[in-house]
Amino acid sequence: MTKRFAMVIAVLLALVVSTSALAANGPFVGDPKEEYYMVTFVSGIEYWKGCFAGMEDAAKLLGVKAIYTGAPQADVNQQVTVLEQVIAKSPAGIAVTCANPDGLRAPIDKAIEAGIPVVTFDADSPLSKRYCYLGTGNYNAGAMAARYLAGLIGGKGEVAISTVTGQLNHEERKAGFVETLAREYPNVKVVATGNDNNDQTIAATLVAGFLQAHPHLSGIFCTDALGGVGAATSVREADKVGKVRIVSFDTDQGTLDLIQEGVIDASIAQGTWNMGYWSMLMLYSVRHDLVRPVEGWQTKGINPLPGVVDTGTNVVTKDNVDAFYVK
């Protein structure tokens, strides 16, 4: 019995050792020398922290290195320079958000042709050779804002929109908002729309004008975070907090603080962590040839990844705002 027990133990130990060896050398255990880059524009803003946090979490899971860099301003030429510098390092993969879709197309294609996997996130370059775009379904986000604001004002009343005119993601948010109200809430009327140019001061002036021109205004939708902060300033100065309801966008600290104070009623949170996390997993999977929709996809012009991934949105309110502060 003792010998048989010893043999069983030996077999079990051998299985544990072999399983551990397989795990240690499995396809999802990367080399710590592998470097994956995230490249943004306006690199110092809070918004990108959530994106990079997701990328870092996935990199830690895989045992590889995630590095953040970007252009200091929303300048396509600056970002092209930064991206070219990253490409010269021959990294294992690149996740890039595009200050301009056409301006980033050439360097993205250059990286792909050099064998460096590239995905875009938050802002796309759809005509480039990138493997996937991960970002917010902006039309649906606008629809979400419309339904929430309509609920706050009882399904009737006058509302206004503060947006960034001419920027595709903001135009899509506005369209989702306007069309959802028209279709589902016919007693809610959009009486004013203006361009805040993603500037808090301009937004405050714009919304002050809305309040003066439309004394019965019940709500405001802001398609950008700074627009929301500016709107909150004007609503507070007009002593209309709680009377004019505000639904904003994104989760910068200023917006979150104003939600806690009850000045901004809600904000639409983009899935920034998801953008970074799934970008990292996709880059790693392509780099290590773990996705094979068909044999020989590399030479036959077949994309191994989904072309577009909606990374989701959530409504941030006073009830859940604590969860959105960056730790």
Burial class (CB in 10 A: 0-12, 13-18, 19+), 167: middle
pLDDT at 11 over 90: no
**pLDDT score of 21:** 38
Bridge partners for 241 per DSSP:
244
The closest alpha carbon to 93, from 127, 132, 123, belongs to 132
- Dist. CA 321–CA 251, nearest whole Å: 9
pLDDT at 263 over 80: yes
pLDDT tens-digit map of 117-150: 999 999 899 999 999 999 999 999 999 999 999 9
Residue with tokens 């294609």: 109
pLDDT tens-digit map of 166-222: 877 889 999 999 999 999 999 999 999 999 988 999 999 999 999 999 999 999 999
Q: Cα-atom radius of gyration of the chain, to the nearest Å?
A: 24
Higher-confidence position of 16 and 46: 46
pLDDT at 252 over 60: yes
Contact predicate 34/65, CB 8 Å: yes
pTM exceeding 0.75: yes
Contact predicate 217/189, CB 8 Å: no
Residue 118 sits at φ, ψ, to 5 deg, of -135, 130
**pLDDT score of 168:** 79
Bridge partners for 189 per DSSP:
158
pLDDT tens-digit map of 71-104: 999 899 999 999 999 999 999 999 999 988 899 9
- Dist. CA 181–CA 8, nearest whole Å: 69
Band the pLDDT of 5: cuts 50, 70, 90. very low
Angle between helices 105-113 and 76-88 (to 10 degrees): 10
**pLDDT score of 201:** 96
Contact predicate 87/114, CB 8 Å: yes
Band the pLDDT of 327: cuts 50, 70, 90. low
The closest alpha carbon to 189, from 177, 173, 206, belongs to 177
The closest alpha carbon to 249, from 235, 276, 229, belongs to 229
